[in-house]
Every structure is written in C-alpha cells, then in structure tokens.
Structure 1
Amino acid sequence: MSNQPRNNPVKTRNLPMPIDVNQVYGISEQSWKVLTDVTFPTAKTPEAIMMALDYCKARKLDIFKKPVHVVPMWSAALGRNVETVWPSIMEIQTTASRTGVWAGMDRPAWGPDMTKTFTGRYKDDNDQWQESSVTVTFPEWVAVTVYRIVGGKRCAFTEEVYWQEAYSAAGGKNSQVPTAMWIKRPKGQLAKCGKAASLRAAFPEECGYAAEEMDGKSIDDMNDSSVINGTASRIEEADVIDDAIVGSVEPPRVIDLSMIPPKVQKAVSELVRRTALAGAWKAAYDYANNKFVGLDLTYAIAELDKASAVAKNTSAQGDVNHQPIDASGMPPATNPASEALNKARETLGSARQP
C-alpha cells in the first residue's frame, strides 16, 4: 500500500462480552478476550463473534483453531459494510473429509506470471479513504484437482480460478487496489481460492464458498453467475479400490428424468450406444465432461456408469463377442482451457522428475 505516514489514532479493542456467551457457550471472560484480540482481531461487533460461535457449535468445531473468519461485505441495500461469517479453507477441507469419499487433492497447477500496477483508493484500518499505487506480480490462474469416490471409482474435479477475478479489493466494489494479504501472498491466497472452488465442484452439497473468496466482495455478488463450472473426469487406474474405500462408496443418485431435457436424454443415449459398441469408455467420460454441465452432467455420468458396469459383467461372462470399432469417431473431448491445464500439468510433472 502507500508508504506515506498516517496520523490516524491507534484503535483499541474493547468489545463487551454479552451475557449469552457465558450462559450458552460456557466462554469465560479470559476466553472472550482471546477471541476478540487474537482469534478475530478485525471483528468490530460482539454479534459477529457470536455468529462464529453459533457456526462452530453447530459444526462441532474448536473456535480457537479459527475454522471460520469474520468477513466485512458491502450491502447495497443497507449502504454500508456488514459483518458476515465464512468458513476457512481448512474448514471446507474438513467438511469434505467428513463425507468419507474424499480421495485426495493434487498440487496446484499455475498459469503464467503477470505484473500489473493498481492505482486508486483503499480504506485504511480506521475506515478512512487513502490514495495508493502498488505493483503486484501474480499468476494469471490456478487449477486444483480434487478427487472423490463416485460409483466406486476415483473421479477428478478441476476448477480454474483467475487472479484478477478472485483477488480482494481493499475497499470493496469502490476500489481496485488489492488488500495487503493479496499483495503479500498473491500465490497463497489464489491457491486457497482454487482449492475451495474445486472442493465445491466435487462436493456441491457439502462445501460452499471460503472466506478468502468472499473477502472484499459485495453481498450482491453472491447472486451473480460468475462461478466457473468444474469438470469431472474418470480415472481408469482407480478401478481397483482399497477395501477401506469400498465401505464408504456412495449409493447411486436417483435422478428425476423430468428435469433432464429430452434433447439431452437423446444425446446421452446415443453416446452410450456408440461407446458400448466401441468400448471407448474413457473417451466417452471425457466427452461428457466437456459437453454437459450441472444435472445434465450428473445424468450423463450415471448412464455411462450403468452401461459400463453391464459391459464389464457381460465381457466377464463371455456372453457377447465384442467387435471393436474405431474409436476415432468419438467427438473431440478437449478445449483450449483443458489443453492449457494439461500442458501445465505436464510441465509440473517433468519438474518433479530428477
């Protein structure tokens, strides 16, 4: 930020302890002081800390390990910032782990570095606007792959998150200057957002947004559709699953066909038919992940899973003599984004080799 000296008075912490804190949560005055001065030093109201206590009590989490953060967000309806509580990236990983079907996460793959100068206003610790100009070097994007056991197989879910879309501004929507943390740790903060996005893609019903993603954002931003869709790809090497994993495999999801457009049902049916003839299951899964999104993708994967299981059982019993068909007729399953991601992974893999 700006290197100019500031004459603003030093703020002191003096958040009164509500009576409910001791009665409901058993928090002593000494513990309250730790919460206000150490765990949540930026919280401005006791109510914000009580929201964090409610969250941790419901989730059976130790609040002193800071599984959640108090994040100020701009409310256009109120015309001011309001304090909100969001889980940390560690809490989101804990949620995924508790499902029993989280199967690991790869190291981040990084895009090329970019350098940009941000000039404008930001709000200091005393909520006063200051002028600033700062130059930051940051990776253009990050991609993190999260694995989940689906239908007995290890599936990969990958999200790409771009720095300039994710970074937190030091004044909300009225500022373009990054916060001090995004200036100090441009890769570290982006990595957290990448992990959260991929965990959300792999566990859409369990995982939500992380505090690192929401810091500096507006509450109105939650209603837009700027979230990038994740991709799922079948990992054939995971066909043989450890006994410890088999016991935690999810039951097949029941899909209401009335929610699937007839055009999608027809396309999936043709994909399954051609794949069964060609035996090109991996190509079919890759194609489905690039062709469909959301519930349509879930339906396509479920249909491929059923057909794949039938084909394997039939092959094992020797009831049908398969006549292989050239799989080159399958539709291409790549796009510029996936190609860039694959190149990044190849570079990362070669760097690991001695």
Structure 2
Amino acid sequence: MSAVMKQDDNTPAISEAALVEVLSSSLYPGAEKNSVVMVLAYCQAAHLDPMLKPVHIVPIWNSKTKKMQDTVMPGIGLYRIQAARTGQYAGISEPEYGPPVTAKLSGVEVTYPEWCRVTVKRQMSNGLVAEYTANERWIENYATASKETAAPNAMWKRRAFAQLAKCAEAQALRKAFPEVGSAPTADEMEGKAFEEPARDVSPRQHAQPEPEALPAYSDDLLTENIVKWQPLIDSNRTSPEHLIATISSKYTLSLAQIEKITNLKALDGDAA
C-alpha cells in the first residue's frame, strides 16, 4: 500500500501512519496496528472508504495454530453498499421470527427466536422483481462467550433477535447479489473457529476395496437351463450375449460355461 493516501482532489493527502492512528483510536479501538493496516489494504483493493467502517476486525480461534487470529471480514453494511451500487436493489422485508425458545446453555438462561426469515428483492433487467429468501436458525449462528462454553456472548444474549436478523439478511443478500461475494460477515463468524485442516493436494494412489466375490454358477443349473434357453435363442427372443451378461451380474461363470452359452447360436434357417 502506498505510504501516502490521497482522499480526493480537494482533500490533502494523509499518510498511512496517520490514517492508522485515526482508525485505531476511533473505529477500531484496541485493535493491533497490523490489523488496521489490513483493513486499509482491504478497503483500497475494494475501492471502499475506510471511514465508513465497511469491514470489521474479528478475532477468530485458529485450531491449527492454537491461538486467536485477527481477521478482516465484511460487515452487513458492506453488503448493503454493494447491493445498492448495482442499481437493482429493490428493498428488503421486515424480519420474520419463529417461536421464542428459552433454554439454558452452560448454565446461562437465554431466550432466542428459533429462526429468522428475511427476503431481499432485486429488480431484474426485464423489469421484474425477484425475491430471494434466507431462513437462518439462532442455534446454528450464535457466538459463544468463549470456546470452552456453549453460553452465548453478551451481544447474542442481549440482542438475540437483532443479531440473527443480520445473519439472515447477509445470507439473503448473497443469494440476491452473488457478485457481492461469498465471504461470511463479521456477525456470522464472531465466536467461530477456523477448523479446516491443511490439505495435501498431491495425487495419491488409494487402495480400492476388493469387490465381494459372486457365487459360482453350477454346471447342473446350466445344463437344466440350456434346454429352456435354446428355443428363446432360436426365436430371437434373447441372445447368448444377453444371457451371459444377465448371469454374470449375480454369478461367476467359468470359461467353459461361457463357451457353452456362446455356442447356443440359432442354426441357419431356424430363426423365426
């Protein structure tokens, strides 16, 4: 990133260090300076005004490194901005909530909506308005107070309905405007952990399980059935190849048995 950031033609340039100080003391108090620098880089790449706080710094537990890791994530405000920029944003419904549930989570009693439904509208190029609905459940989205407890953090306990509504809105906005991206919002990832392990993508030879052996087809049964099959072959109602394929799906035929069935060819002049 440039050491000097120019706001516009009428605003004097401000150094990156000064801007980091401003953001650290106002919008991101207590955040590490390196994390605020990541915010500036994110906003510069996406042509966003960092003073509007379109993104958040979210501490996420990294199960691989066994420590909290600051991560820059979009806020619900950024999704709204990007949807509005398309010129096709046609509004959003009021959140609909499922029945309230009262439960104890790690000894903490909390009342929350079972689910929340939000619909985002987008005006298509043909003039029609399409609706995109998302239904999110509180129990699948809430943030815990720590990784050692199932109790919700203070925000999700105090604003159980409003927090879930933001998650449902974010999902609906992603459905309606896929061009805004697929990254989860800060509200959706708060209190979550990076669980995906590193993957080895090098090609490997995996041992395939041995197929279960089919039972052998008895010679007595073959002798009995040949008498029945010959008229069917003579009248073109079946063929030796079809018989072999059918039997082989359930039994194992010996080479001698396959030869006997193959020799059941209709004689010239016998076919119907």
Per the shorter chain, which TM-score range? 0.5 to 0.7
SS of 2:178's partner is coil
- Corresponding residue to 2:64 among 77, 90, 104: 77
Shift of 1:140: 0.8
Q: For the pair shown, which has the larger CA radius of gyration, 1 or 2?
A: 2
Q: Are the aligned partners of 2:64 and 2:195 in contact in 1 as well (CA < 8 Å)?
A: no
1:149 aligns with 2:123: yes
Aligned equivalents of 2:100, 2:62: Cα separation in 1: 33
Shift of 1:29: 5.9
1:218 aligns with 2:207: no
1:178 aligns with 2:152: yes
Give 1:51's aligned residue.
Answer: 38
5 Å matches for 1:151-300?
A: 151-152=125-126, 153-172=128-147, 174-208=148-182, 209-220=184-195
Distance 1:63 1:176, change over 3 A: same
5 Å matches for 1:80-159?
A: 80-119=67-106, 133-152=107-126, 153-159=128-134
Aligned equivalents of 1:144, 1:221: Cα separation in 2: 29
Give 1:40's aligned residue.
Answer: 28
TM-score using structure 1 length: 0.49
Q: Are the aligned partners of 2:122 and 2:176 in contact in 1 as well (CA < 8 Å)?
A: yes
Instruction: Write 1 or 2 for the structure with the bigger share of helix.
Output: 1
Deviations 1:298-344 (A, max 9, x none): xxxxxxxxxxxxxxxxxxxxxxxxxxxxxxxxxxxxxxxxxxxxxxx
Shift of 1:163: 0.5
Gaps of 5+ in 2: 7-13, 199-272
Gaps of 5+ in 1: 1-19, 120-132, 224-354
**Percent same amino acid at aligned positions?**
37
Equivalent residue pairs, number: 189
Give 1:128's aligned residue.
Answer: none
Aligned equivalents of 1:134, 1:30: Cα separation in 2: 43
Please report the RMSD computed on the Cα atoms of aligned residues, expressed in angstroms: 2.4
Shift of 1:72: 1.0
Q: Are the aligned partners of 1:137 and 1:186 in contact in 2 as well (CA < 8 Å)?
A: yes
SS of 1:49's partner is helix
Aligned equivalents of 2:124, 2:131: Cα separation in 1: 10
TM-score using structure 2 length: 0.63
Q: Are the aligned partners of 1:21 and 1:50 in contact in 2 as well (CA < 8 Å)?
A: no
Distance 1:32 1:156, change over 3 A: same
Distance 1:210 1:67, change over 3 A: same
